[in-house]
Amino acid sequence: MADNEATVTEEEPKVLTDLEKVGEPAVPRKKPKDVHGDELTGSIKVPKVEENVANHKPYLCKPVTMEKLGFPADLREDWHDAAIAKMADLLKKYKSLQVYMDICVKCGSCTDKCHYFIGTQDGNNMPVARAELFRKVYRRYFTTEGKILGKLAGAERFDLDLLGEWYSYFHQCSQCRRCSVFCPYGIDTAEISMAAREIMDHIGVGQKYTNDIIAKVHDVGNNLGMNPKALKATLESTEEDLEEETGQKIRLPLDEVGAEVLMVTPSADFFASPHVESLLGYAKVFHQAGISWTFSSAASEAGNFGMFIGNYSHMQKLASRVNDAIREIKPRRLVVGECGHAWRVAYSFWNTIIGPFDTLDPKYKRPQHICEFTLDLVKNGGIKLDKSQNDHLVPTMHDSCNVARGARMGDKPGGQFTIPRELIKASCNRYVDMDQDTIMEKTFCCGGGGGLLTDDLLELRVQGAMPRMQAFSKVQETHGANFIALICAICKAQFTKILPKYGVSMEVAGGVHQLIANAIELGAKQ
Amino acid sequence: MAIFVIGVLFKVWKYAMTPAPLKIPQTPAPVGAGGVPVRVLSEVVIFKSLFKSNRVLWLAGYLFHAGLLLALLKHFRFFFPAVPAGFGYLDTLEFYPGLIMLAGLGLLFLMRLVVDRHMFISVMTDYFLLLLLIAIATTGTFAKHFFRVDITQVKEFMMGLIAFKPVDMPTQVMFIIHFSLVLLLLAYFPFSKLMHAAGLFFSPTRNQVDNPREKRLVTPWAVEKPEAIPVAEEAMEAST
Ligand code: HEM
Ligand code: SF4
Ligand code: SF4
Ligand code: SF4
């Protein structure tokens, strides 16, 4: 199919290439406070729909990185045909995509459920409208209805403009699955935005932030690009700090063959703040319980951005580092640190993509979440907590969407809600929940998930955090809440950055194991 | 009619055959296989998620589908030689199923017009389908209750169709319109969003058991060991 648009040149002095056109965000855009006003009111209002007020676009991925990941360096000449071919391929591989393309009745149930719509007011950020960007193309090329009726049926040719919209709006979805909860058919827009990103990567349109990180992990082993030497040094200096603080020799072991537990955690835990506070929590728990454990430099990253771009091979290859580590360390148990999407990948996908974990002890869950691990110890007396250490805090729990709606902890449905809460309550005297419509399975994303945690999308991140901030400001007002307990590395980074924009101190955000670290009683057991 | 049957079967076959390579139940989800039918049925029978989401929409949708179901059941008498046991009392419902349907449809249509979010996402075919259904329900109600279509004649006609022994079509205008529109709907069904009625049962976020750690999900294309991604290895090393 010939592509007319490709030959049209712009009137502007600087001629943009097609790829640049796709990546060029439209201005003007609404600022965060144009949508929700200056002050937090504590209530979440559904805004009026407007068009094209949030045409945010993240930076395009550099050609070298694209090539490293096996994607075309530039927008392919035949991008149109290639995109359709890739779409056909994905429709055959994913039942979710195939079924969700056909069955949306556009009932509108999901339209007011996305934090990005609530925060930006942009109609295309309503989940069904986002998915429609994909469906337009699907209908045009894959359905009789769309081929015959065209626009009347909501079918459209895939052209550069539409590709530009794809690039914008499929990078304004944190793949949090909140919409899916409220859809009568469970249509999961996250699945659709993953597929869209996969198609875009295959025609040469990649997102810088996510792809850089994937390349870094293939390269050095973690999102932060910390090589084993640097990692070792960091852990050692943290060990020293710990000894100074507690007077105890609490270890942060690395690559210790034969350890009982292999701990895989997001690399941000190694030195970002407040992440590292949770790291201290893990270390204290292992220390006090007397269970030998180790990190691994091969698998120094629990996060898996391969999921964000919907690329099965990359996701699998990133995860396979855990297998390498298991072979090397020969642990009996595998435990995963605080991270939302990482836990979704670990819990829901690892067994499929890198399992089965036959060498691990079947007495324990394979893999186990650090919250499951710690709560077991609290319950069987393996560790003791002194709640009064946290008396200055009134925590509330932000359920990470990937854990809440994409994974589980414990044996019962909903364990992902009760287990972290039990831990918080075991380590603090006070606790308050935010509004029921904003927690547990209905939790609002922090606004920075799904590969959007990048400064080129900062405005969007502020807007997307709005519903969560409203809910928090309410319990702040009514119950004096002053701590948002988190179980996700991205949530932690996002809140630390976004809280000050809403006039809240960034100290308010911290991990569940930060509370444990405060409360745990170290030293000889009675 | 044949389009309908073949079209729907084809789609269902396609949904059934497309693999779901990863575990993606929307949690909290049932942890045992027994819970899945309960979950899916709660969506079919009471539109549970919709109820959680939007009560007005739920009411509108529910009225329509309930009316539709009752009307369909009433139609059974045209297709069976004898009125099946228990279906007789449906006749006492008079034209209410039609009215319930119309009330629901009217509300659904109205919502597309007055709620800006619904307006934003609606295209021609969405309105068309609602209008088509409104037309079907209206002509049906009229044919039966105001124009007094001869029921026995209709029945003979339908039985004839089923037996592939054409009988003369009843000649009342209302019936002819009603019947043609229904055929149109059936022909359109497999190509349209009406497939939601079947697709719902194949939605992986709703029909999967939440047991990925206990039971390894294996699908043919997705279990090979990490394939070598065409990663330019030297380029990678160079950048370290
Ligand atoms: C398994 C059976 C079915 C189930 C569980 C089901 C469920 C639903 C649900 C939950 C909705 C969204 C609710 C709403 O829009 O308010 C819906 C919409 C709709 N259904 Fe069904 N349905 C079924 C069968 C059918 C059939 C057989 C028809 C056919 C004629 C139909 C026609 C429609 C239409 C036209 C809409 C869209 C309403 C709108 O435009 O807003 N459904 N269905
Ligand atoms: S709730 Fe589901 S069916 Fe309704 S518009 Fe949204 S995606 Fe479509
Ligand atoms: S998955 Fe989350 S971010 Fe994406 S459309 Fe749905 S609600 Fe919005
Ligand atoms: S960062 Fe946290 S809240 Fe946001 S998508 Fe990830 S898990 Fe969800």
CATH number at residue B181: 1.20.950.20
Q: Quick one: CA torsion of A209, A213, A216, A220, rounded to 10 degrees? A: 150
Q: Quick one: CA torsion of A90, A96, A97, A101, rounded to 10 degrees? A: 150
Residue nearest to atom 4 of ligand 3 (CA): A173
Does residue B234 lie within any of the structural domains? no
Which ligand is closest to the CA of A182, given by its number? 2
Distance CA B206, CA B24 (A): 9
User: What token pair was written down for A208?
Assistant: 């810088």
Q: B141: distance to nearest CA of chain A, Å?
A: 25
Q: Which residue has the tokens 């800006």?
A: B116
> For residue A369, what is the enclosing H or E element?
strand A368-369
pLDDT at B230 over 50: no
pLDDT at B92 over 70: no
Closest C-alpha among A462, A447, A474 to residue A500: A462
Does residue B231 lie within any of the structural domains? no
A221 shares a domain with A190: no
CB–CB contact B203 A187 (8 Å)? yes
Cα(A128) to centroid of ligand 2, in Å?
A: 6
Count the domains in chain A: 2
Its ipTM equals: 0.89
| Residue B98 CB partners (closer than 8 Å, separation 6+) | B67, B71, B137, B138, B140, B141, B144
Instruction: Tell me what the pLDDT averaged over chain B comes to.
Output: 86
Q: What is the pLDDT of residue B232?
A: 38
Q: Tell me the one-letter amino acid at A386.
A: D
- The DSSP call for residue A349 is I
Q: What is the pLDDT of residue B73?
A: 87
Cα(A117) to centroid of ligand 2, in Å?
A: 15
Does residue A3 lie within any of the structural domains? no
Nearest CA in chain A to B193: A103
- Which of the pair, B142 or A231, is modelled with greater confidence? A231
With a threshold of 0.90, does the pTM exceed it? yes
- Mean pLDDT, residues B111-127 taken together: 95
Listed by number, the residues of chain A in 169-228 with a beta carbon closer than 8 Å to a beta carbon of chain B are: 177, 180-188, 191, 215, 218-220, 227
A274 shares a domain with A128: no
Q: Report chain B's terminal Cα–Cα distance, integer Å.
A: 65
Cα→Cα distances A322→A153, A262, A278, A367, A484, Å: 47, 9, 21, 11, 30
Final residue before a domain boundary, out of A165, A186, A206 = A206
- 3-state class (DSSP) for residue A12: coil
Q: What is the pLDDT of residue A382?
A: 94
Does residue B239 lie within any of the structural domains? no
Does residue B221 lie within any of the structural domains? no
Please list the residues that pair with A336 across neighbouring strands.
A264, A369
A179 lines ligand 3 (CB under 6 A): yes
User: What token pair was written down for A381?
Assistant: 């007396």
Chain B contact for A106 (CB, 8 A cutoff) = yes
A331 shares a domain with A270: yes
Lowest mean pLDDT among A504-508, B181-185, B223-227: B223-227
Count the domains in chain B: 1
**Domain extent for A360:** 214-519
Of A95, A145, A316, the CB nearest to B20: A95
Mutation choice for ligand 4 from A401, A438, A440, A441, CB with most ligand atoms inside 8 A = A401
Lowest mean pLDDT among A14-23, A302-311, B61-70, B172-181: A14-23
CB–CB contact B120 A123 (8 Å)? yes
Does residue B50 lie within any of the structural domains? yes
Q: What is the pLDDT of residue B240?
A: 33
Final residue before a domain boundary, out of A168, A183, A206 = A206
Q: Which residue has the tokens 């009932």?
A: A107
User: What token pair was written down for B190?
Assistant: 């497999």
Per-residue pLDDT of chain A (526 residues; tens, 9 = 90+): 344 444 444 444 567 788 988 888 877 677 777 777 667 888 899 999 998 889 899 999 999 999 999 999 999 999 999 999 999 999 999 999 999 999 999 999 999 999 999 999 999 999 999 999 999 999 999 999 999 999 999 999 999 999 999 999 999 999 999 999 999 999 999 999 999 999 999 999 999 999 999 999 998 888 888 899 999 999 999 999 999 999 999 999 999 999 999 999 999 999 898 999 999 999 999 999 999 999 999 999 999 999 999 999 999 999 999 999 999 999 999 999 999 999 999 999 999 999 899 999 999 999 999 999 999 999 999 999 999 999 999 999 999 999 999 999 999 999 999 999 999 999 999 999 999 999 999 999 999 999 999 999 999 999 999 999 999 999 999 999 999 999 999 999 999 999 999 999 999 999 999 999 999 999 865 5
pLDDT at B229 over 90: no
Q: Which residue has the tokens 């419509």?
A: A437
Residue nearest to atom 6 of ligand 2 (CA): A110
Chain B contact for A25 (CB, 8 A cutoff) = no
Q: What is the pLDDT of residue A451?
A: 96
Q: Which residues of B touch A220 (CB under 8 A)?
A: 240
Residue nearest to atom 6 of ligand 3 (CA): A179
Does residue B188 lie within any of the structural domains? yes
Final residue before a domain boundary, out of A156, A187, A206 = A206
Q: Tell me the one-letter amino acid at A47.
A: P
Q: What is the pLDDT of residue A31?
A: 77
Does residue A176 lie within any of the structural domains? yes
**Domain extent for B74:** 2-9+25-213
Does residue B222 lie within any of the structural domains? no
Q: What is the pLDDT of residue A129?
A: 97
Task: Count Cα neighbours of B136 within 13 Å in the Cβ-side half-sphere.
Answer: 22
Residue nearest to atom 3 of ligand 3 (CA): A173
Does residue A374 lie within any of the structural domains? yes
